């Protein structure tokens, strides 16, 4: 597969052969050591200068395969595992003699624990569900005793590696469809997805707000603009209803057979709406921080699922309409881009 974000040519600085399939790797700056987990349940410590190594099997018996690895602020080594049984989703080892310190169990219906990251008094692990329920989760554990505390958020797509983004948020790898974003930032306090980045580090496509004045660091401010994160990141006066039967409901999904292919990728998610007879009902709303006296552009794509009916959309920011109502294009699957300009004036946010 072609690399969408090619790197410049380079050469090996040094290479250390393990002799087994590597699942994950982590560096400990306090000990200047590299830690590797392998498919055989082996934890390997490597001196990056000399290449010396030592290792041990992280558990005896059958059915164990080490997966993700992380080095905590205290220097201890944390290892997650596949197909975790009761009280054995993560194990923590002292780095000098590999002595086991504690282990933490999985919540109900969780398997295949992988990514791990640390914030304050907690560490976080990504997990996948069993045969029922949504696809993946971020779990919170107490660093003091490895006990599970809560589920931060549940996602309809895979979550892999985790990394610290800020004092209150994590980067999470989201590599599989229906997500088209390679990385999302998640607030661990409430599980909100703060932003999504594509495979080359740019915010994902779809509806967006672009800064014309240039004083806001990021030129795209909306969360989940293309709906690839599912039914989250925005609010609506409409009810979420998969049937789309009654008026005044919406559904975030893929209904190419009923309406049209998603505009962003052709196979992703989109917001489908059965319009309300109440003109005051807001179909989509999001609040973003803005700079005073800057000019912003708001754009979005629309198509019609019915013919000859032509719904109209009125865009408003902070209660003030932007222009006239916009008719949705006629013809099933005919997409049209709408773009409007707004000056923030003295406002520090836009709704």
Of 143, 147, 142, the C-alpha closest to 106 is 147
Q: Kindly compute the dihedral angle of the four CA atoms of residues 140, 142, 146, 151, in this order, to the nearest 10 degrees.
A: -20
Q: Which residues of the chain have pLDDT under 70?
A: 1-20, 39-41, 55-65, 82-87, 130-134, 175-181, 197-220, 256-258, 260, 262, 264-266, 307-309, 331-332
pLDDT at 206: 38
Flag whether the pTM goes above 0.95: no
pLDDT of residue 175: 62
Q: Tell me whether residue 231 is exposed, middle or buried, using C-beta atoms within 10 angstroms of its C-beta: 0 to 12, 13 to 18, 19 or more.
A: middle
Full set of structural domains in the chain with CATH: 22-197 (2.130.10.10), 205-351 (no CATH)
Within its chain, how far is the Cα of 317 from the centroid? 27
Contacts of 296 (CB under 8 A, 6+ apart): 209, 210, 211, 212, 290, 341, 342, 343, 344, 350
Residue 146 gets the label, from left (phi > 0), alpha (psi -120 to 50) or beta, of left
> What pLDDT shows up at residue 57?
55
Whole-angstrom Cα distance, residue 210 to residue 340?
Answer: 11
């Amino acid at each position: 597969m072609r690399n969408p974000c090619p790197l410049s040519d380079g050469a090996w600085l040094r290479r250390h052969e393990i002799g087994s399939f590597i699942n994950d790797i982590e560096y400990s700056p306090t000990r200047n050591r590299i830690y590797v987990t392998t498919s055989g349940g082996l934890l390997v410590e490597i001196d990056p200068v000399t290449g010396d190594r030592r290792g041990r099997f992280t558990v005896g018996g059958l059915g164990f395969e080490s997966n993700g690895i992380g080095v905590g602020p205290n220097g201890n080594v944390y290892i997650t595992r596949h197909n975790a049984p009761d009280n054995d989703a993560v194990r923590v080892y002292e780095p000098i003699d590999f002595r086991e310190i504690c282990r933490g169990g999985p919540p109900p219906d969780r398997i295949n624990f992988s990514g791990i990251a640390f914030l304050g008094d907690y560490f976080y692990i990504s997990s996948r569900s069993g045969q029922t329920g949504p696809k993946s989760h971020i779990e919170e554990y107490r660093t003091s005793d490895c006990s599970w505390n809560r589920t931060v958020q549940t996602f309809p797509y895979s979550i892999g590696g985790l990394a610290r983004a800020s004092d209150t948020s994590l980067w999470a790898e989201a590599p599989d469809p229906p997500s088209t974003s390679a990385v999302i930032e998640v607030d661990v306090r409430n599980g909100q997805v703060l932003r999504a980045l594509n495979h080359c580090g740019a915010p994902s496509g779809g509806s967006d707000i672009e800064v014309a004045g240039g004083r806001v660091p990021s030129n795209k401010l909306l969360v989940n603009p293309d709906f690839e994160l599912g039914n989250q990141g925005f609010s609506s006066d409409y009810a979420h209803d998969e049937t789309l039967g009654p008026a005044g409901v919406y559904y975030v999904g893929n209904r190419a057979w009923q309406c049209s292919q998603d505009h962003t990728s052709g196979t992703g998610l989109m917001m489908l709406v059965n319009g309300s007879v109440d003109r005051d009902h807001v179909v989509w709303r999001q609040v973003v921080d803005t700079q005073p006296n800057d000019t912003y552009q708001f754009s979005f794509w629309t198509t019609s699922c019915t013919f000859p009916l032509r719904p109209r959309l009125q865009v408003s920011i902070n209660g003030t309409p932007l222009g006239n109502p916009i008719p949705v294009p006629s013809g099933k699957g005919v997409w049209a881009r709408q773009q409007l300009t707004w000056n923030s004036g003295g406002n520090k946010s836009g709704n």
